[in-house]
């Protein structure tokens, strides 16, 4: 099951990256990891740094993929984003937190959702 989840997640992230590039975003980092956690995609849209969590599912058996980005996950992503901004010396830039939901290959883009 875990191997299938990893493959599904990787495929979803590839779909999300292509989607963002097609929308004119510049991909700054993928799978940015530190001791706090990970952010799937860090992109730039004009002057805004966009932290993107990608959630992929093949069905709705346990709800929509976006529902997996709960408050605990959101707080972890915020802390990793703060670390990234400090590390890259971008502490006074605009930033946003988005979720890309890939459900059975279809993309739903949720901007500024937390």
Which CATH number belongs to the domain containing residue 104 in this structure?
Answer: 3.40.1350.10
pTM of the model: 0.91
Res 18 pLDDT > 60? yes
Structural domains counted in the chain: 1
Domain residues for 81? 2-110
Mean pLDDT value of segment 69-87: 96
pLDDT at residue 5 greater than cutoff 70: no
Burial of 101 (C-beta count, 10 Å sphere; 0-12/13-18/19+): buried
**pLDDT at residue 16 above 80?**
yes
Lowest mean pLDDT, pick from 25-34, 48-57, 59-68, 95-104: 59-68
């Amino acid at each position: 099951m875990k191997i299938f989840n990893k493959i599904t997640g990787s495929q979803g992230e590839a779909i999300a990256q292509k989607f963002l590039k097609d929308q004119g975003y510049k991909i700054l980092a993928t799978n940015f990891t530190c001791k706090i956690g990970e952010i799937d995609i860090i992109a730039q849209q004009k002057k805004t740094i966009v932290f993107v969590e990608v959630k992929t599912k093949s069905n709705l058996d346990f709800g929509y993929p976006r529902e997996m980005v709960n408050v605990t996950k959101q707080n972890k992503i915020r802390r990793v984003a703060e670390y990234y901004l400090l590390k890259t010396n971008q502490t006074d830039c605009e930033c946003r937190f988005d979720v890309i939901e890939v459900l059975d290959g279809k993309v739903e883009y949720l901007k500024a959702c937390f």
